[in-house]
């Protein structure tokens, strides 16, 4: 499925005019910007490089129909439109690497300048991404990275997300008890690194009385996640709580627990959107959960991709660039820029947010 807003056709046409005019008149064109621009931390950045008009930027979320990615990509579209480019969203309804390969190829064949991808597998998407890259696309990972992107726009520090998840379940359980993790897909880079980060934090003395008993996967499908939650309660009737580091999994887990005898007994926490979780916070199923601003994540990814394609940045440690309304960002480490710390939502503040 490909989504380009109809009014973008007009933008694309006018961008083409600008491009053609620029080509004759000596302004910056995409081709000019490409000259000598070796993307990735190995090239040389030119902070004064202008972002060319008419960049074709393709956003490939893990899947469509996930409210989280709808908000992320809205932010991405805003960024690309501000920069005079043409944003397109491509993806299927299931979070699989196979379907992403098809959309990477389609983007590349359509002459994509920037591919922004939330990878469903760190490696399976790489042959297609490498081909797109050879075809001139700058490749940006957002949300869930692949091993072959030029740069990764991380929502937050991995360590901080892992720690926040452990702190929330520890608080909900009063420091002791058992819990399970209800994750997204088994190969999702982001969830797997967060779970690994949680395990490191759990090894700290303070959390000696907390035990992670099982990790299950709902594949970021609402029904499957609901059933996995139900299954967890059958196999661990005394389970203290669940951590779902996925917005789809958390909403499904909360819905199951809220309609069951476990409501108020089994702690439910993880990563979720305020709009999906509000009712479960107010009905007492969920005490607290966390997330970053998904709109800002997409917006930052859009600006990062454009800056990379233009040669303003290569992604090397120490480079800085302007990301529109979000201001200046710095690559604190090679190849990775971080949006910011996660926010915790509870009954006190959940109504102050609308996403």
Chain positions contacting ligand RAM, by CB under 6 A: 62, 66, 68, 118, 143-144, 184, 190, 220, 246-248, 271
Q: Give me the least distance between CB of 246 and ligand RAM, in Å please.
A: 4
Q: CB-based burial of residue 343 (10 Å sphere; 0-12 exposed, 13-18 middle, 19+ buried)?
A: middle
Q: Tokens standing for 236? A: 């661990």
d(CA 41, CA 308): 10
Side-chain half-sphere CA neighbours of 284 within 13 A: 7
Query: In this structure, are residues 69 and 118 in contact, taking their beta carbons and an 8 Å threshold?
Result: yes
Nearer to ligand RAM, 33 or 350 (CB): 350
Q: Give me the least distance between CB of 271 and ligand RAM, in Å please.
A: 4
Q: Which uninterrupted H or E stretch holds 269?
A: strand 267-270
Q: Give me the least distance between CB of 319 and ligand RAM, in Å please.
A: 25
Q: In 3-state terms, the chain is what percent helix, strand and coil (to 5)?
A: 45, 20, 40
Nearer to ligand RAM, 39 or 190 (CB): 190
In three-state secondary structure terms, 263 is coil
Nearer to ligand RAM, 133 or 247 (CB): 247
d(CA 241, CA 244): 10
Nearer to ligand RAM, 86 or 191 (CB): 191
Side-chain half-sphere CA neighbours of 210 within 13 A: 29
Q: Give me the least distance between CB of 83 and ligand RAM, in Å please.
A: 24
Residue at token pair 């696309």: 137
Nearer to ligand RAM, 29 or 144 (CB): 144
Nearer to ligand RAM, 85 or 272 (CB): 272
Phi, psi of 23 (to 5 degrees): -60, -35
Q: Give me the least distance between CB of 152 and ligand RAM, in Å please.
A: 13
- Comparing every residue's Cβ against ligand RAM, the nearest one is 68
Nearer to ligand RAM, 101 or 271 (CB): 271
Nearer to ligand RAM, 112 or 145 (CB): 145
Q: Give me the least distance between CB of 148 and ligand RAM, in Å please.
A: 18
- Kindly give the interhelix angle for 189-202 and 158-172, rounded to the nearest 10 degrees: 60
Q: Regarding beta strands 151-154 and 177-183, do their DSSP bridges make them parallel or antiparallel, or are they unpaired?
A: unpaired
Q: Regarding beta strands 114-117 and 56-60, do their DSSP bridges make them parallel or antiparallel, or are they unpaired?
A: parallel
Q: Give me the least distance between CB of 347 and ligand RAM, in Å please.
A: 21
Q: Give me the least distance between CB of 247 and ligand RAM, in Å please.
A: 4
């Amino acid at each position: 499925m490909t989504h380009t807003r109809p009014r973008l056709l007009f933008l694309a046409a006018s961008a083409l005019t600008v491009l053609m005019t620029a080509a004759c008149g000596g302004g910056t064109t995409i081709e000019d910007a490409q000259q000598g621009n070796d993307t990735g931390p190995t090239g040389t950045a030119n902070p004064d490089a202008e972002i060319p008009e008419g960049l074709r930027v393709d956003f490939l979320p893990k899947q469509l129909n996930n409210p989280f990615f709808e908000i992320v990509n809205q932010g991405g579209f805003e960024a690309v439109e501000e920069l005079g480019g043409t944003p397109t969203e491509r993806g299927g309804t299931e979070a699989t690497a196979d379907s992403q390969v098809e959309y990477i190829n389609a983007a590349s064949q359509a002459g994509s300048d920037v591919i922004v991808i939330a990878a469903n597998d760190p490696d399976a998407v790489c042959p297609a991404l490498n081909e797109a890259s050879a075809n001139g696309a700058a490749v940006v990972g957002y949300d869930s990275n692949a091993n072959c992107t030029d740069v990764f726009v991380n929502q937050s520090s991995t360590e901080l997300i892992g720690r926040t998840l452990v702190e929330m379940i520890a608080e909900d359980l009063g420091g002791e008890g058992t819990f399970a993790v209800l994750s997204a897909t088994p190969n999702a880079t982001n969830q797997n690194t967060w779970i690994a980060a949680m395990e490191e934090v759990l090894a700290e003395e303070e959390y000696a009385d907390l035990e992670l008993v099982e990790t299950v996967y709902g594949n970021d499908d609402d029904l499957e996640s609901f059933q996995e939650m139900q299954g967890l309660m059958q196999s661990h009737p005394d389970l203290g709580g669940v951590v779902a580091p996925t917005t789809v999994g958390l909403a499904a887990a909360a819905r199951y627990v809220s309609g069951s005898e476990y409501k108020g007994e089994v702690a439910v926490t993880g990563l979720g959107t305020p709009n999906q979780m509000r009712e479960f916070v107010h009905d007492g199923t969920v005490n607290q959960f966390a997330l970053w601003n998904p709109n800002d994540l997409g917006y930052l990814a859009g600006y990062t991709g454009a800056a990379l394609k233009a040669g303003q940045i290569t992604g090397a440690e120490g480079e800085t660039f302007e990301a529109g309304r979000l201001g200046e960002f710095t690559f604190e480490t090679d190849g990775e820029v971080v949006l910011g710390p996660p926010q915790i939502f509870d009954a006190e503040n959940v109504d102050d947010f609308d996403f």
